Structure 1
Amino acid sequence: MTQSTLTFLAARARQSANHDVLTFAATADQVLAFSEIERVGRDQDGALSGFQRPQIAGHIREIRDYLETDQAVLPNAIVVAFTGGVTLEDLDGGICRITIPTGDDAPKGLVVDGQQRLTALSTSHRRDFQLFVSLLVCRDEEELRRQFVLINNTRPLPKSLIYELLPGVDGLPDRMQSRQLAARLTERLNFNASSALRGQIYQHTNPTGVIKDTAIQKVLMNSLSDGVMRLMVQEPNGERQCFDLISEFYKAVQMAFPEAWWGHKPSSSRLIGGAGIQAMGYVMETLAQLDDARSWSDFMRGLSALEGKTAWTEGSWDFGNGDVRHWKALNVTPTDVSLLARYLEGIVRKDIRSRRAARHEAVDA
């Protein structure tokens, strides 16, 4: 089998005396010609082999769809590590000429970071799209594995920070666009002067807030996908209507349960914790859809049915059928949120039916 080579001009970084670290631009086809993605697994004896996590098909599709747009850029470098076989020739000004053998018999570098970006680009129609490659030449296999662990052990950005950045980002995948709208509404709720939740939502730019931004966003995303906001947001000035709806609702919540709202943290009141915020979001949906509630006074009428039937800061919840929980026993889990939401919604729905029946009796009389 004949061997061919690829040659690149690269910038060499002065870093460790025991490693060569260089950066250059190459297409996905070129990178795959001299490297491979060795996915982590175990052999028949149970020994660990490989490095990279399994592919995540949905994430790769999102990256590919983005890369196929005209505005796509990919500044993050793919990291490829070799233990030998690469020829380096120093030129002037920190520039180096790299010669890498290719072909079946050539030693392959290992992709230690960026496997999904590389896979996405390799399936894209943009064959001439170049990405940055950071080339690391290690002493041996053990050193290569150590570098893989160190490179991939950096702390990722917190989800809440990413979500807070979303409102100012364009060209996002469809999956993230719904999250973007929820993040934008959360931002307005936290910083708009007319918001009942102004300054109360914890974000990286508002660390004194006590209500988790992700809890508010879950209420919004639920409503935008399957609730009253799904159609509301499509109406003229729809985003403003959505903002007004949730602001008016939580204004009513604050008025209905002032002792459980003000001066508390999620640890001292389940109302402002993730379980309470999300469960009350379902109550908002019920009152908005079945009772046509839009203003805080409309919502107060429905919330009055919950008086004396909650245990936000003390006592116990009686969910029926012998299921009695200490107030602190409710956690931010899908099971507990669903349990609390069903309990609160059941009371509110029963009250709505009773008020409707009373109106009908009054008309008949």
Structure 2
Amino acid sequence: MNPGQSMIVRAVRTQQGYGTDVYAFFLPGSAVLQFAEISRIKRDEAELEGFQRQEIRSHVNSIVEFLNSGPVLFPNAIILALSDAVQFKAARGSKPSDIVEIGTSGTLHLPIGKDGKKIAWIVDGQQRSIALSRAENKDIPVPVIAFVSQDIEVQRQQFILVNKVKALDTRLINELLPEVSTLLPRDLAGNKLPSELCNLLNSHKASPFFQLVKRRSDQKKGAAVVSDSALIAAIKINLKAPTSALSQYSSVDGTNDADEMFHVLAKYWSAVRDTFPDAWGIAPEKSRLMHMAGIRAMGALMDPIMLRAESVSDSEDDIRRSLARLRDYCCWTSGKWDELGWKWNEVQGTQLHIDRLTQYLIQLDRKLSKASR
């Protein structure tokens, strides 16, 4: 569309607040940035300008990848602030007698500035708008909610109100993922299989984690002591190719043998449980094995132990002998990790502690396995 023209869309107008016009309409995704701009936050000497954060490239790329993956459902509305340069023309015609009269239908005229000046500002959805402009399908219909206000204070107020709502809990999202069969963005899709395996470990009676994993759907407080986030994070490492314990059960076409993965996980963690029976199944405050740090570290240790066990005839016996060699060096419920300088209950769920504990256990396993040959 050329500068100086107007983009005309069908819209519904209503009012909120003190007579503020609010519109609802649809646009092709690529059209949003033709008349709307992103008001970046910056400070000019003592004056604060704009309100939007900088583009998050990884987030935008993830949305673009999702939009390019096929016919996708993308009903997320973009919220705009409009200048008073827009014009609305109400539609004529009869109306049903029992209509709920909240809005007026008509056409909304959105001018395209000749000098590059735009008549709208994105209040919510800047990352989506950028992604839509870069997607292969330029005609994805996008819902837009827009209110008329050139007042930067009102725009900032709405920006804060929209974005102050707490995002969905990651644990809730992870638990829902195995129940979703439609296309998902890559960052969500990557948690689907680990979450499904986490469900199996928690629900299968043959699992050492049977009813020990805390999930968001649990209504009763029982014996669950293990964070599902910790177990999912550990399983994600076990799925990474090429030198991980579970990657061999994934094929290049994206299919996975979840049952076999479950059996491998159950075999390893059953050996962990039997090696450290006094530290298993109790609250993380009393056992750092059940703590996020313990689950993550022992989960990472699974890869070298399981891969080594595959080369011998009795893999289960080899797994248990590998863990038994570590038993006297581990301080899950008492004592001190001398090499790390921590008392048993000083181990925290920080990335630093997880990385150091993981590195220590893997190096110790490597050293002891060589000495046993």
TM-score using structure 1 length: 0.86
- How far did 1:25 drift? 0.6
Deviation at 1:3, TM superposition (A): 3.6
- Residue identity matched to 2:127: Q
Matched, 1:248 2:267: yes
- Determine helix, strand or coil for the equivalent of 1:308: helix
What is the alpha-carbon distance in structure 2 between the residues aligned to residue 175 and residue 149 of structure 1? 26
- The aligned residue for residue 317 of structure 1 is 337
Shift of 1:158: 1.3
SS at match of 1:150: helix
Residue 259, structure 1, aligned to residue 278, structure 2: yes
Instruction: Name the counterpart of 2:9.
Output: 8
Q: Deviations over 1:222-272 (max 9, x none)?
A: 12114121223349974322211111222222222222223x222332111
Once the two structures are TM-superposed, the CA of residue 103 in structure 1 deviates from its matched residue by 1.4
Give 1:287's aligned amino acid. Answer: I
Cα deviation for residue 13 of structure 1 reads 4.8
1:76 and 1:132 in contact (8 A); partners too:
yes
How far, CA to CA, are the matches of 1:260 and 1:171 in structure 2? 40
With over 3 angstroms needed to count, the CA separation of the structure-2 counterparts of 1:76 and 1:161, relative to structure 1, is: same
1:176 is displaced (CA, Å) by: 4.1
Distance in structure 2 (CA, Å) of the matches to 1:126 and 1:71: 9
Identity %, equivalent residues:
30
Q: What is the alpha-carbon distance in structure 2 between the residues aligned to residue 27 and residue 2 of structure 1?
A: 18
Report the counterpart of residue 176 of structure 2 in structure 1. Answer: 165
Runs of at least 5 residues in structure 1 that lack an aligned partner in the other structure = 357-365
Q: Is the 8 A contact 1:291 1:352 kept in 2?
A: no
Distance 1:171 1:48, change over 3 A: same
Structure 1 runs of 4+ aligned residues shifted over 6 Å read none
Cα distance in 2 between the residues matched to 1:249 and 1:171: 32
Partner Cα separation in structure 2 for residue 139 and residue 39 of structure 1:
15
Aligned to 1:281: 299
- Supply the distance in 2 between the matched residues of 1:200 and 1:166 (Cα, whole angstroms): 20
3-state SS, counterpart of residue 142 of structure 2 = strand
* Cα pair distance change 1:33/1:307, threshold 3 Å: closer
Among 133, 147, 167, which residue is 2:144 paired with?
133
Question: Match of 2:73?
Answer: 73
1:297-308 equivalences in 2 (<5 Å)? 297-308=317-328
Which residue number in structure 2 is paired with residue 40 of structure 1?
41
1:280, distance to aligned residue in structure 2 (A): 0.7
Conservation of the 8 A alpha-carbon contact between 2:41 and 2:49 = yes
Contact 1:85 1:107 in 2 (8 A): no
Displacement, 1:147? 1.0
Q: Is 1:198 matched with 2:190? A: no
Q: 1:153 maps to which residue?
A: 164
AA matched with 1:156: A
Q: Which runs of 5+ in 2 are unaligned?
A: 96-100
Amino acid at match of 1:130: P
Aligned match of 1:178: 190
Task: Report the TM-score when normalising by structure 2.
Answer: 0.84
Judged with a 3 Å threshold, the aligned counterparts in structure 2 of structure 1 residues 205 and 88 are, in CA distance, closer, same or farther, namely same
In 2 relative to 1, CA 32–352 (structure 1 residues): closer, same or farther, beyond 3 Å?
A: closer
Q: Which moved more, 1:123-132 or 1:296-305?
A: 296-305
